[in-house]
Structure 1
Amino acid sequence: MPHSPYRQLMGICRQAVEDIYAGCEEDKVPRELGCLPDHDFALVQLLRRQASIVSILYAETVAEAKLGMMTEDEVKSEMESEVDSDGDPEPEPVLESQLQSQLETECRLQQQRLLRKRLEDILSMAYAKFYHYTFSDLPPWLRQLYTDASILKFAEQFLSSALARHTIAGTNSDAFVLSDEFTAMVKTLDLAIIMAGAAGAKRGRKWIDEALRLLGQCYIPDDEELEEAEWLENQRKGTDLPLPWEERQSFPDFEPVSIPVSQPIRRTGCMDIQSFQRYLDRPGHKTTGALPLIITGLVDHWPALTTHPWCKPSYLFHRTLGGRRLVPVEIGRSYVDEGWGQELITFRQFITSYFAPQCDSSPPSSSAKQQRDIAYLAQHPLLSQIPALRNDITIPDLCHTCPPRNPFHRGPAVEELEEPKLNAWFGPPGTITPLHTDPYHNLLVQVVGRKYVRLYGPWEGRRMRARGIEGGIDMSNTSEWDVGVEEGWDGMPEVEGGEGEGEGGEIEERHGAFNKIPYVDCVLEPGDTLYIPVGWWHYVRSLSVSFSVSFWWN
């Protein structure tokens, strides 16, 4: 009989702690943490000491839990073993015993506080070193150091929790269901994924995914999730019941701004890989290459659109451990606006704070409040972070075609991707991606809600007013044109030192220049797939609550 998820989780924690301790030794074989070149020896040895302390914590947790499990007869036997040679029990003053117990408890708590502080110190010092590199150039040992410190922190949190004590004692821990302990443990592992990519060959991502899977089985779900669990059990028994999510509330379909399509993109039915390859190879105009195309019916089979509906907040909460998974969101209307920033918040906080249905359909005002009150989960590998959601979709076969190069690209060739890059785009109405261009071909699949997309051909590059180096960051793939402002869908964003740009005739001249640039546009409905050829400039706007998945390939 397989072990319960509680005991499995305790087992993998113990093994990980032992492996981290051993991996920090100087004489280990290459590729272990302790002997990677140019590593911070003091930091690695500090990590090793904390692994040793966590091992002691594990032993103490087991010993205490077993003591609490002793029966009356076992206690009597223990007392009999302490009888002296004269047949009299050893005297043990009650007060002295209580004081000794209090001192041991206080000593252990102090040790745990120090352990937590040291682990936080290691994580802070490792993260501070991240700023010396771009993320893609982070040394593997540094990413693994952060990940291993996170695993030790998780192990300490778990071993110190009520769940661990109840696991060893063989009792249930209902109090653990919605406790802060559970949320803190999820946060620790998610930070390892988001900050360091959960690096490590022996542990790393594989270990963290398994820990999160087991952790998800260790808490009692809410009423809605219990119904879904009952439905799954009945399905296994062959009992036919309605889908558990049919009666759940969907995201509101309110659209604060109505945007008409003026230059519609061609639509076509489902295409197989051969038909799509012919479309790419034989464009109507050789000078322009293949044009944007909307393909319908391509993803109708996705569980995300059927049995596992992403349009239901309750389903997304279920797949994110009650909404406890941590996600990075952009705060502000656009990443080119003043005051734009990023935050790490839980999935539930994201939805409850920013997805409240809007009742006012009047045009938004030009204010800092407008920018602060919107958040967007944009260009994030959410499906890699949360495999349960990744299982709700499949990569379209069309991503395995051989698309042409961008004929208007004059810079160095883009690195060839071994497999498509998947990103999630999820947010309330009004979230936008400003006018920009990407170095890959893109299939943008609309799963929830409606989204407006406007595209400009790559031959319009000069009229796109590409930005330059801003704050040390190359922004040349982003246009200076603010489509929402030019069209009147958004108020003028506040800028440092003034309320807006230009006056009178200058504004009219700018509008005139913008309106002369030809474009094509569309509104994507759930189930639509938009092909965006490489190099095409595109502006994207959520009309309602919207969830999309993009597939980049070349």
Structure 2
Amino acid sequence: MTTTTPTLKLVDHCLSAARQIIQECAHIIIDDEPDSPSPSSSSSPHYNHNHNASSPKLKPKPKPLPNVDSIGGKRKIRLGGLEGCEEPLVELLCRQASIILQLYESSSSSGSGDTADDVVGQANNGNVRFKPEAEQRQKAITLVKRRLELLTRTAYGKFYAYLYKEVPTCWRQLYTDTAILRFAGLVLLEFDFEDGAGLKEGDEKEEKKKEEKKKEEKKKEEKKKEEKKKEEKKKEEKKKKEKRIKRERVVDEMVKTLDLSLILAGAAGNSRGRKWVDEAFGLLEDVLEDMKAMATAGGGAKKGDGEQEGGRLQKKRRLSPSSITKDGEVNNSWQNTPPFSTNEPFTPPVKNPIPRVSADSLSIEAFQSHLAKPRPDRGPGPAPLIITGLVDHWPALTTHHWNKPAYLLSRTLSGRRLVPVEIGRSYVDEGWGQKIISFGEFLSKYIDASIPFTLPSSNVSPFLSSSSSSLAQPQPQSSPSSNSLPPEKDNPKTNSQIAYLAQHPLFLQLPRLRQDILTPDLCYTAPPSHPTDPSQDQPELDSPQLNAWFGPPGTITPLHTDPYHNLLVQVVGRKYVRLYGPEETGTGRMRPRGKEGGVEMGNTSEVDLGVVEGWDKLQGDGEGREGGEDENEGEAWEEDFKKVPFVDCILEPGDALYIPIGWWHYVRGLSVSFSVSFWWN
């Protein structure tokens, strides 16, 4: 029985996307032509394909697509597709997809002497068969890459004209589809699928036969032969090393291309979009695991086991069941690796503990009753509550330990996946910013310097600067975070060296990591509206909204409120949390910020709790007091603030803290810490 390998699945996935992009673009271009013929007509100035047997399977009459309507005899892409982009850009995208397909199809035959201009020209004119020589083929590939980079820059440049949530879908889809084509081009035209380990079996046997025949030769000849063999072996090893390095670079570029489409453009698109990108990442991970297992098993790949012949992929042998586990990992090599450090440079005292209740004694009905029950202090709305044992069954705590760096690296393509991180002490401080780096670099540079990570920095490409990095977090009312350590303790990192992966929808980006956690049933209860200001209530969510919070000791989220009820689950390490009731919003003692730089910051307090409590040093020159108040006024305000009632706690791994809507809360990482927040209403 023939089995489709991950390699062939990945190739088919890329071919399908390129063909689909051609079809959708063709509909848009033809619809824009006055009195345009159908897409199958040979009179189209843009698509005059010769549909012979060697065509890249482009059908003369494309099947109706899921996002295409027939209106007045013409096909129209539904609102939100590529049709909102300028026609020249759509046409350019379509041409690159066509060229990629034709370059791939032509790679199985010998060259014909075509120039790079011939390659591109024939693609533009619809002549699908061409056989470029290797040099000309590479020129054509380079030209396609340049044009796709131009499309990427153009699409991303349009983002600057809008707030992130208002960027038209067409520009986000153009960015995403361009990224998909860039990825497909790397897979189909540049990626070497050989495992690169050892000689091929046939060559090895031949070498042994030659050795046996020459056993009786003179010692001098044997010595020369050995020297020659060593030299050939060195050359072979050098070739393998160069091949591995090139392959690593191509994989890095693949990952970077798709991750930026997720982080910056939200992987927009109905036909492909996030679903296509997620599947591509899954297939790429399977391919790399397959190759790693084959290399580990030794002996390398035999001819026909996934080797490229004339540039076309052949079937590859299946791995033995022992090579790949049911979780898709190679030998679970992370299991015997060390966990994150539990060191806590500073631990604040808990003064007014939040009540704790065991999940075993808290049914969903009992929790619903808690949501409707008046607070003990008779304040508005329900009270905070810690539920212990609620997530003890999560794989993240039992079998797929998130407290092991090696496991997290295994779930991020060996640390290649990109993540947006916050750099700087405070969200509102001068110099604060964000950058996009590889997960492995984040771990080794900001979490634990002992974690080995040798891949080159993935710091964001030419398409993102620190001033525009807010596009990386399309969450409403983002909760700012800041970072500091108490002055009395040694801090090996300066403020500028502390980074925080804060309020990022990591589990949308990494579905395989999402499998390690489960949404608690408590998040499907019906919580009350905002206790003091119903205008703050948000439209009902279809499902709980998840965010990740991961960073080193000393990461801080300053006093702020959330737009939803929140269940904050601690997975790795410990965190200190302090909460103030929603009734304090109207007293002025929380000092909510207003609009700053055109951004509404009313859910964030000006109060630096760490400074007020003496845990941190005052940042800057101390002139940041509201309204230019003098020192005496500041001291009087601090004394008044210290009288405000609060509750606090230290969250342990496995604890879940319920934070009602409207409550001001301050969160401080005490050790390396990984938390997951569930917003719901």
> Do they superpose with TM above 0.5?
yes
* Gap runs ≥5 in structure 1: 66-102, 237-241
In structure 2, what is the equivalent of residue 86 of structure 1? Answer: none
Aligned pair partner of 1:321 in 391, 401, 413 = 413
Asked if 2 retains the 8 angstrom alpha-carbon contact of 1:10 and 1:164, the reply is no
1:472 matches 2:598: yes
In structure 2, what is the equivalent of residue 8 of structure 1? Answer: 9
Aligned residues: 506
Q: Single out whichever of 461-470 and 280-289 deviates more from structure 2.
A: 280-289
> Taking structure 1 as reference, are residues 428 and 24 closer, same or farther at Cα in structure 2, changes over 3 Å only?
same
1:551 matches 2:678: yes
Aligned residue identity for 1:55: L
Report deviation, 1:235: 7.0
Q: What is the root-mean-square deviation of aligned Cα atoms in Å?
A: 3.3
Q: Single out whichever of 487-496 and 399-408 deviates more from structure 2.
A: 487-496
1:133-532 matches, within 5 Å, as: 133-163=162-192, 175-176=243-244, 179-220=248-289, 245-270=334-359, 271-284=362-375, 287-356=379-448, 363=487, 370-411=494-535, 413-461=537-585, 462-494=588-620, 504-532=631-659
Aligned residue identity for 2:669: S
> Taking structure 1 as reference, are residues 107 and 440 closer, same or farther at Cα in structure 2, changes over 3 Å only?
same
Aligned residue identity for 2:13: I
Report deviation, 1:136: 2.3
1:24 matches 2:25: yes
In structure 1, what is the Cα distance between the partners aligned to 2:275 and 2:429?
A: 38
> Taking structure 1 as reference, are residues 181 and 233 closer, same or farther at Cα in structure 2, changes over 3 Å only?
closer
Aligned residue identity for 1:203: R
> Taking structure 1 as reference, are residues 213 and 538 closer, same or farther at Cα in structure 2, changes over 3 Å only?
same
1:482-529 CA-partner distances (Å, limit 9, x unpaired): 111222222222369999997753543343132122211100000000
Asked if 1 retains the 8 angstrom alpha-carbon contact of 2:530 and 2:536, the reply is no
Aligned residue identity for 1:52: S
Asked if 1 retains the 8 angstrom alpha-carbon contact of 2:387 and 2:655, the reply is yes
Asked if 1 retains the 8 angstrom alpha-carbon contact of 2:81 and 2:173, the reply is no
Report deviation, 1:355: 1.1
In structure 1, what is the Cα distance between the partners aligned to 2:296 and 2:592?
A: 52
Q: Tell me the secondary structure at the aligned position of residue 158 of structure 1.
A: helix
1:360-398 CA-partner distances (Å, limit 9, x unpaired): 98727999x832110000000101110111000000000
1:11-64 CA-partner distances (Å, limit 9, x unpaired): 111111111111112236333699755432221111111112111221233336
Report deviation, 1:450: 0.2
Report deviation, 1:218: 1.9
Asked if 2 retains the 8 angstrom alpha-carbon contact of 1:323 and 1:347, the reply is yes
Q: Single out whichever of 106-115 and 214-223 deviates more from structure 2.
A: 214-223
In structure 1, what is the Cα distance between the partners aligned to 2:322 and 2:385?
A: 39
In structure 2, what is the Cα distance between the partners aligned to 1:357 and 1:234?
A: 30
In structure 1, what is the Cα distance between the partners aligned to 2:79 and 2:13?
A: 19
Q: Single out whichever of 269-278 and 299-308 deviates more from structure 2.
A: 269-278
Aligned pair partner of 2:143 in 110, 114, 124 = 114
In structure 2, what is the Cα distance between the partners aligned to 1:308 and 1:477?
A: 36
Q: Tell me the secondary structure at the aligned position of residue 464 of structure 1.
A: coil
Asked if 1 retains the 8 angstrom alpha-carbon contact of 2:9 and 2:283, the reply is yes
> Taking structure 1 as reference, are residues 523 and 222 closer, same or farther at Cα in structure 2, changes over 3 Å only?
farther
Q: Single out whichever of 393-402 and 117-126 deviates more from structure 2.
A: 117-126
Report deviation, 1:137: 2.4
In structure 1, what is the equivalent of residue 100 of structure 2? Answer: 54
Asked if 1 retains the 8 angstrom alpha-carbon contact of 2:485 and 2:616, the reply is no
Q: Tell me the secondary structure at the aligned position of residue 547 of structure 2.
A: strand
Asked if 1 retains the 8 angstrom alpha-carbon contact of 2:486 and 2:615, the reply is no
In structure 1, what is the Cα distance between the partners aligned to 2:519 and 2:486?
A: 39
In structure 1, what is the equivalent of residue 51 of structure 2? Answer: none
1:112-146 CA-partner distances (Å, limit 9, x unpaired): 22211111111111111112222222222222111
TM-score of the aligned structures, taking structure 1 as reference length: 0.84
In structure 1, what is the equivalent of residue 236 of structure 2? Answer: none
Report deviation, 1:307: 0.2
Q: Tell me the secondary structure at the aligned position of residue 676 of structure 2.
A: strand
Q: Tell me the secondary structure at the aligned position of residue 370 of structure 2.
A: helix
1:311-357 CA-partner distances (Å, limit 9, x unpaired): 00000000001000010000112212221100000000000000137
Q: Tell me the secondary structure at the aligned position of residue 77 of structure 2.
A: coil
Aligned residue identity for 1:431: T
Aligned residue identity for 1:433: T
In structure 1, what is the Cα distance between the partners aligned to 2:637 and 2:625?
A: 17
* Gap runs ≥5 in structure 2: 32-67, 69-74, 112-131, 202-239, 298-318, 451-483
Aligned residue identity for 2:363: D
Q: Tell me the secondary structure at the aligned position of residue 183 of structure 2.
A: helix
In structure 2, what is the equivalent of residue 39 of structure 1? Answer: 85
**Which of structures 1 and 2 has the larger relative contact order (alpha carbons within 8 angstroms, sep 6+)?**
1
> Taking structure 1 as reference, are residues 477 and 6 closer, same or farther at Cα in structure 2, changes over 3 Å only?
same
TM-score of the aligned structures, taking structure 2 as reference length: 0.69
Asked if 1 retains the 8 angstrom alpha-carbon contact of 2:173 and 2:268, the reply is yes
In structure 1, what is the Cα distance between the partners aligned to 2:280 and 2:507?
A: 17
In structure 2, what is the Cα distance between the partners aligned to 1:481 and 1:361?
A: 17
In structure 2, what is the Cα distance between the partners aligned to 1:15 and 1:33?
A: 23
Aligned residue identity for 1:529: A
Asked if 1 retains the 8 angstrom alpha-carbon contact of 2:80 and 2:169, the reply is no
> Taking structure 1 as reference, are residues 413 and 362 closer, same or farther at Cα in structure 2, changes over 3 Å only?
closer
In structure 2, what is the Cα distance between the partners aligned to 1:441 and 1:315?
A: 31
In structure 1, what is the Cα distance between the partners aligned to 2:408 and 2:654?
A: 18
> Taking structure 1 as reference, are residues 60 and 243 closer, same or farther at Cα in structure 2, changes over 3 Å only?
closer
> Taking structure 1 as reference, are residues 14 and 230 closer, same or farther at Cα in structure 2, changes over 3 Å only?
closer
Aligned residue identity for 2:255: V
Asked if 1 retains the 8 angstrom alpha-carbon contact of 2:353 and 2:647, the reply is yes
In structure 1, what is the Cα distance between the partners aligned to 2:625 and 2:410?
A: 44
1:125 matches 2:167: no
Aligned residue identity for 2:665: H
Asked if 2 retains the 8 angstrom alpha-carbon contact of 1:366 and 1:494, the reply is no
In structure 2, what is the Cα distance between the partners aligned to 1:109 and 1:145?
A: 25
1:216-254 CA-partner distances (Å, limit 9, x unpaired): 12225879x979x99976977xxxxx9865421000011
Q: Tell me the secondary structure at the aligned position of residue 526 of structure 1.
A: coil
In structure 1, what is the Cα distance between the partners aligned to 2:321 and 2:8?
A: 26
> Taking structure 1 as reference, are residues 325 and 437 closer, same or farther at Cα in structure 2, changes over 3 Å only?
same
